[in-house]
Structure 1
């Protein structure tokens, strides 16, 4: 199935049920009074995070979601039944926007999370609600309010730890296939990935991270060239960017110029994404003599004045891939939020380390 990362849907909450005008009429009770009940509330529409979904493909076939209307009230102070809510399952990472106002409604980041995207109508009031000391037989009731209707845009951006970026044919899909169980399309002719491909990279026991491969960028992508920025938003959900550079580009363009092209497109798309941790990964080192690699890489780093980390790998022979993944795992673990228990352990360790110094200071000032 193709990866669908954007969809438009229409949601309609249920209307509230109308209130009832009714009077109690029983034998031997000449002045029974009003007994019209309220209507029921309309059902609301919720977006629910479902960890078993990973695309928005289902929204290609079902685009309209309607909640149930509340029932009308009836006599004998009977309130109408409320309409049932509608839950729309969506994959984790889905972002919801109101098309009319461009307002961001919410984002699904936790399994089972629910976001109300359309409010059901409020119930109407029966005539018993309008009874007073001066109006003992009201002949009025209020209608239920209409349910909220919205047209929404759902965007799905993959949540991953590491994102691969680079020009087309830099070897991103080959690297993903080499270090994970993902099997993106790979061939011996030039082409670019058309759909984002995630993969889980296992580094050791209970140590793994998610890597995502996005379509290759070209100059002018931020202005809509090629696939444009349609998939650049997936990189905004990653913490570490691996910029793959082909050491043997088919067009023989200077490597520093290729890197600057990608950097310019990232800054044009989002300055926040461009400032994230980014490593240069020189790929296809198996295509050039080993004694020339160091000189080529040094020349590129000097031209760019690059002070970040860099790696030299071959995704085909997997040379250097294990070291790259191990370093990425260490960096991800170092950036993980500290738990309260870890912070308490650090405080105890610091206090224990400072205790001998304090005792030594007391001994120095102790009278003879």
Structure 2
């Protein structure tokens, strides 16, 4: 069974180009299935060594025969992308594991659109015209773990989302407010992508992220002017690029002790308050490029595991000999593999050689004059 499912997923990887003017990165279905091991969701637990003759059994013949008109169906996968559909197809087989409805013209998700699909694991509704989702649309979908609603016209997060979702991608919609009840009970949600929505700081209600165990959160291309202080404390990755954040203060990271990757590029950050970085001792990678910093953020030399820091395209005029490396060699647990300082007004020939003594080599440092105008 898994052999045929593999070929089905390979076929899905070659979907037609997205129709929006704005380029949209196609979803790599095959990669997703590999990461989430979706083949293991088959409760029949077939052996990998089953004979090929057993592939085409009655169960699967019936599944294919029940396929909605115009769609491609095989091994509990229903592929209905790029068909110009204006609504969810009727009579989707009850044993369906994954539904691909990308690149259509669906405007609404109704109460009974997915009724009876209790085994559904992944649902892709990317690039439609969905502006309304019925509050009971996902009722009894307890096994749903991947839900992609990006590139639609939603103005709010759908109500009553399944509690067991692992990954929710809802970027590039029209959501301006995150209600307190939006993610209630969603303790399994590890990946939340909400970029390219008009979300401002006052649009995030207090307690909206309570009880969540989210590891990856991205709200880029929004209207944030400061780092929100109510995100899940479990975060290991936080990406707030392309916002309007003007400064980074000590209290900004007090909750995020487990943070390993931080993205703050393309903001308007003028300074990082002294002592701020001490709150994120496990950090591995920091992006502060394309901001308005005039000096290297204080405290980088205290971060034992920091390997990558992007500071290019700022207004940094000087680099001190101890800005990146600790005075005691043994304090640093991991060498830098990437430090970018190009497109800054710093005179790189004046930087003292010991400044980068804790890097993995000269190729780990990118220097250069600020670009000529």
TM-score range, shorter chain: under 0.3
- Point out the structure with max Rg over C-alpha: 1
* Normalised TM-score (structure 1): 0.26
Larger fraction in helix: 1
Query: Which structure has more strand as a fraction of its residues?
Result: 1
